[in-house]
Amino acid sequence: MAQLQAEIIGVGTELLLGQIANTNAQWISEVLANQGISVYHHQVVGDNHDRIYRSFELAKSRSDVVLVTGGLGPTDDDLTREVLSDFTKRELHQDEKALEQLETFFKRRNRTMSENNRKQANVIEGATMIRNDAGTAPGMIVIDDETTFIIMPGVPTEMKKMMEDTVLPYLRETFQLQDVIVSKMLRFIGIGESQLEMEVKYLIEQQSNPTIAPLASDGEVALRLTARARTIEEANHLIEVSEASLLARVGQYMYGFNNETIADVVVKQLVKKDLTLAAAESLTGGRFSDAIVSIPGAGQVFKGSIISYSNETKTQLLGVKEATLSSFGAVSKETAIEMAKQAKDKLRTDLAVSFTGVAGPEPLEGHEAGTVFICLYYDEAHYRVERFSFVNHRELTRTRAVKKALEWLYYFLESN
């Protein structure tokens, strides 16, 4: 058959008021793209009978599959079910099984089912029901002439579960989808977006399967490879070949794949090398430790941290010398080194990281906001300390500092 054309309709006045973004359309589009289904249109309409009706008309005139999200709730505003019934000229009737599921849902949560909720058990004649395991409103698949309408709730968790459990298997089987799409993300650190693009520009431009898309966020860059083929094996093979060419150019900056974060990789390396870590955080105020502790298994290698957000804490608790603070200032190379050394000693670890700087908005000790000293300390002979000038933006500076320390740790652990 010709390539399947899909369309996504978001129903809900909250979308037209800008209270929420239509992330459902994004998510569904991505999932359909991965199945080789082309999405040519998105529409958004409010909770209005006529406008929903006309959006269905338009969609039917141009699309094979129409996925509708929203408007299945219990209130009078929720019209999707009723409009589709009018549009397809098929009656709504209360489905016993759907009502039973609804009653069970409320009973399990010790909540009373209101009269309103009963309407969520209304089903269009001839429709295939889509179970909703995460909420109250079931979805429906309704075939109207050449067009398949699929209606689902607007709550993202409910919609996603329905898509994965029911809708995608249904589409794959009904339309005998044969192509598969496989994506792989390569993650880089220590190289800027423009430099990365420059290094691999000819590869990005030269080829279309897999496509290579650069992505950037918060001081990290990634390349997404997306291949389309008849089998997963074939798609994986296409990706492998491209990956090899890419890594020949920029492999030294790659730290991980897919959803791996630099903190994941650092914790894994520490576990593998049986090394323990501590931190002394002033500027970052716990953000570095938080990033490490976010990783399950961090407890094996991370012993803790001293957050010294006052000079008094730096001297009395962390043990930085008064003389260091008075001669060089709290925001200095010397203080950063002592902080890391003391954290390592006090927490008895193999490695320690320290941060001191000016989060802003005001300058401090003559340093501009955004000035940061980071130290990674192993022993007297092996430590690294540097001064950075990040931007005058409190949150960004603290996030960048944490990323930079993770980058250093990554390279240290790779090469030792």
- Residues at the site binding its own copies, with contacts judged by CB under 8 A: 10, 15-23, 25-33, 38-46, 48, 51, 58, 213, 279, 281, 284-290, 292-294, 296, 298-299, 302-310, 312-313, 316-317, 346-348, 359-361, 394-395, 398
Q: Are 138 and 81 in contact (CB under 8 A)?
A: no
Shortest distance in whole angstroms from residue 65 CB to its own copies: 14
- Residue listed under structure tokens 């389309």: 228
Question: Considering only CA atoms, which of 4, 9, 15, 5 is closest in space to residue 152?
Answer: 9
Residue nearer to its own copies on the CB measure, 42 or 118: 42
Shortest distance in whole angstroms from residue 55 CB to its own copies: 8
Partners of 150 in beta bridges? 67, 141
Nearby residues of 2 by Cβ (< 8 Å), 6 or more positions away:
none
Residue nearer to its own copies on the CB measure, 31 or 124: 31
The separation between the first and the last C-alpha atoms of the chain, rounded to the nearest angstrom, is 57
Q: Are 303 and 349 in contact (CB under 8 A)?
A: yes
Euclidean distance between CA atoms 357 and 355, whole angstroms? 7
Residue nearer to its own copies on the CB measure, 25 or 374: 25
**Which residue type does 146 have?**
E
Residue 194: exposure state from Cβ atoms within 10 A (0-12, 13-18, ≥19) = exposed
Shortest distance in whole angstroms from residue 299 CB to its own copies: 6
Residue nearer to its own copies on the CB measure, 213 or 323: 213
Residue nearer to its own copies on the CB measure, 20 or 232: 20
Shortest distance in whole angstroms from residue 152 CB to its own copies: 16
Residue nearer to its own copies on the CB measure, 28 or 189: 28
Question: Considering only CA atoms, which of 218, 212, 217, 219 is closest in space to residue 186?
Answer: 212
Euclidean distance between CA atoms 206 and 215, whole angstroms? 18
Shortest distance in whole angstroms from residue 287 CB to its own copies: 5
Shortest distance in whole angstroms from residue 305 CB to its own copies: 4
Euclidean distance between CA atoms 162 and 328, whole angstroms? 61
Shortest distance in whole angstroms from residue 105 CB to its own copies: 15
Residue nearer to its own copies on the CB measure, 123 or 400: 400
Q: Are 364 and 309 in contact (CB under 8 A)?
A: no
